[in-house]
Structure formats: structure tokens, C-alpha cells
């Protein structure tokens, strides 16, 4: 056999594995979408939550935080993009954990499929739910008078940055789902972890009036960087590069650390 033929034979393994993993991923994503189709009630949270949050923060807190409700809409809506995406991300672990109670995850482990594709499919399906909640939120924002001086590219950049960070946090939620013993525990730990990040940030109000110790926390809080970057992109003013790059760095760091940990945890089969 020639050296070229040997090279082709050696390279066929990784190529074939990649094709198989891609096929497994497509099938598992389709399974997740069919589950949503069979149970449309599972979309209630992603549709209703952004409506509730928008009305709550604009009409209940907006007048107290800002003298102009229109100005507050411009301030808070980009921040709420980060908030609703993170809330959706934290629900992924509940679904993963529930699949253990039904025996589905044990079934996946016995099948000749890529272990990583099982988790990646869960992340992609939840990313789709995240996109739906973002669309509903922006629709509410436009109904309340949200303007986009940054143009379509600015809005797309803000949505893309939020989705990127949200997908990184999806891996954290998946890892929690693989580690904890019940869906209730996953939901409880997720809420405890997310609430300080959301309210200890610049999502809802400027940080200038906060005490020094809290402002120091908000400065390193990745949600503050995400909210500031989205605000600058949507409103077409303010620094974009620094908070956007910091957000991308956080997202990459989280995904690169947590995704392999989740894959190892799933592959060990000790859950």
C-alpha cells in the first residue's frame, strides 16, 4: 500500500467519528425539539418570564430609579437581555437531572453514541429556548418604546454576545444537573448562585451609588460587563470593546473548563 493510501486510511478514523458524532448530535437535538413540540407548556416560562420582568422593572421600579421612564427603558432593556438568558440557562440542569430519574441517561450510556453529543444536544436545545425568550423580551421592549440608535448591527451584536455567555452558563447548569441528586436541588442551587450575580450588577441600576465593597463586586461581575456591553451596542454610545472582550473571555473560560468536566462526569457513570 502506498504512503498516500496509508495516510488516507489513518485519517478516515477521525473523519468517520466526526460524521457519526454530528449525526448523533442532530438526532438528539431533534429529540429535544420533538419533546418541546409534544409539550408546548414547556415554553411558558420562556414566553411569560420576559413579559413579567419587563412590566415589573419598567413600571414598578423605573419611576423610582429614573425620572424618565423612556430613559430607563433604554437603560434596563439591554440589561434584561442578560437576565432572561441566564435564567433560561439555569433550567438546563433540571432537564438533565430529570432524564436520570426516567432512566434516559442510563439508556444513552448503553448506546454506541458520542457521550459528549448527549450533553451538547441539551445545550443547543436550551439555546433555542434562550433565543425565543430574547425575541419576546425585545418585542416587549419595542412595544414600550425601546429605540436602537446602535442600529441592527448593534442589536445583533448585543443578542449574540448574550447568547454566547448564556451558552457558556448552560454548561454550568448541565454540570449541576449531573452532580446533584434531584431537580429541586439543581433549581435551588441555581437560583442561589444567580441572584447575587443579577442584583449585584449594573443590570437594573448604575453602580455609582452602591457602597464601595458592593461596587468592587460589580466591577468583576461578568453580568455587569455583559449588561454594559449590550447597553453600549444597543444605544450606540459608551465603551464597547472592553466589556465585550471581558464577556467573551469569561464565556470562553467557563466553557473550556466546565464542558470537559461535564463530559467526564457523564462518562464516569457514577450518578
Task: Note whether residue 21 is domain-resident.
Answer: no
- Spatial distance between the Cα atoms of 144 and 48, rounded to a whole number of angstroms: 16
Number of structural domains the chain divides into: 1
* 22 belongs to a structural domain: no
Give the structural domain span for 156: 40-112+127-268
Tell me the mean pLDDT in the region 51-67. Answer: 82
pLDDT digits (tens, 9 = 90+) for 167-209: 999 999 999 988 888 888 888 888 888 888 888 898 988 888 8
Q: Is 240 inside any structural domain? A: yes
Say if 119 falls within a structural domain. no
258 within a domain of the structure (yes/no):
yes
Q: In this predicted structure, what is the pLDDT of residue 26?
A: 83
Distance CA 225, CA 106 (A): 39
Tens digits of residue pLDDT in 129-168: 999 999 999 999 999 999 999 999 999 999 999 999 999 9
Count Cα atoms within 13 angstroms, Cβ side, for 230. 31
**Per the domain annotation, does 13 fall within a domain?**
no
This prediction's pTM = 0.84
Domain for residue 236, yes or no?
A: yes
Q: Across the chain, what does the average pLDDT equal?
A: 84
pLDDT digits (tens, 9 = 90+) for 251-260: 999 999 999 9
Determine, yes or no, domain membership for 228.
yes
Q: Under 8 Å CB-to-CB from 122, ≥6 apart: which residues? A: 28, 32, 92, 95, 96, 170, 174
Amino acid at each position: 500500500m502506498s504512503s498516500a493510501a496509508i495516510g488516507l486510511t489513518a485519517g478516515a478514523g477521525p473523519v468517520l467519528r466526526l460524521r457519526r458524532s454530528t449525526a448523533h448530535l442532530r438526532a438528539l437535538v431533534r429529540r429535544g425539539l420533538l419533546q418541546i413540540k409534544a409539550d408546548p407548556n414547556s415554553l411558558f416560562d420562556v414566553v411569560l418570564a420576559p413579559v413579567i420582568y419587563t412590566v415589573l422593572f419598567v413600571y414598578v421600579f423605573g419611576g423610582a430609579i429614573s425620572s424618565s421612564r423612556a430613559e430607563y427603558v433604554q437603560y434596563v432593556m439591554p440589561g434584561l437581555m442578560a437576565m432572561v438568558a441566564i435564567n433560561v440557562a439555569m433550567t438546563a440542569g433540571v432537564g438533565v437531572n430529570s432524564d436520570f430519574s426516567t432512566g434516559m441517561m442510563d439508556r444513552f450510556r448503553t448506546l454506541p453514541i458520542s457521550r459528549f453529543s448527549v450533553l451538547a444536544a441539551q445545550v443547543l436545545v436550551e439555546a433555542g429556548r434562550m433565543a425565543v425568550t430574547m425575541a419576546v423580551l425585545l418585542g416587549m421592549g419595542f412595544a414600550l418604546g425601546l429605540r436602537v440608535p446602535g442600529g441592527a448591527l448593534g442589536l445583533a451584536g448585543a443578542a449574540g454576545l448574550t447568547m454566547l455567555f448564556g451558552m457558556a452558563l448552560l454548561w454550568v447548569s448541565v454540570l449541576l444537573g449531573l452532580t446533584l441528586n434531584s431537580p429541586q436541588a439543581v433549581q435551588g442551587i441555581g437560583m442561589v448562585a444567580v441572584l447575587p450575580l443579577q442584583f449585584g450588577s449594573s443590570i437594573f441600576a448604575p453602580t455609582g451609588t452602591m457602597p464601595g465593597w458592593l461596587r468592587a463586586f460589580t466591577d468583576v461581575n461578568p453580568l455587569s460587563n455583559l449588561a454594559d456591553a449590550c447597553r453600549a451596542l444597543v444605544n450606540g454610545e459608551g465603551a464597547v470593546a472592553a466589556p465585550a472582550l471581558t464577556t467573551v473571555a469569561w464565556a470562553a473560560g467557563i466553557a473550556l473548563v466546565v464542558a470537559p468536566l461535564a463530559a467526564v462526569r457523564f462518562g464516569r457513570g457514577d450518578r
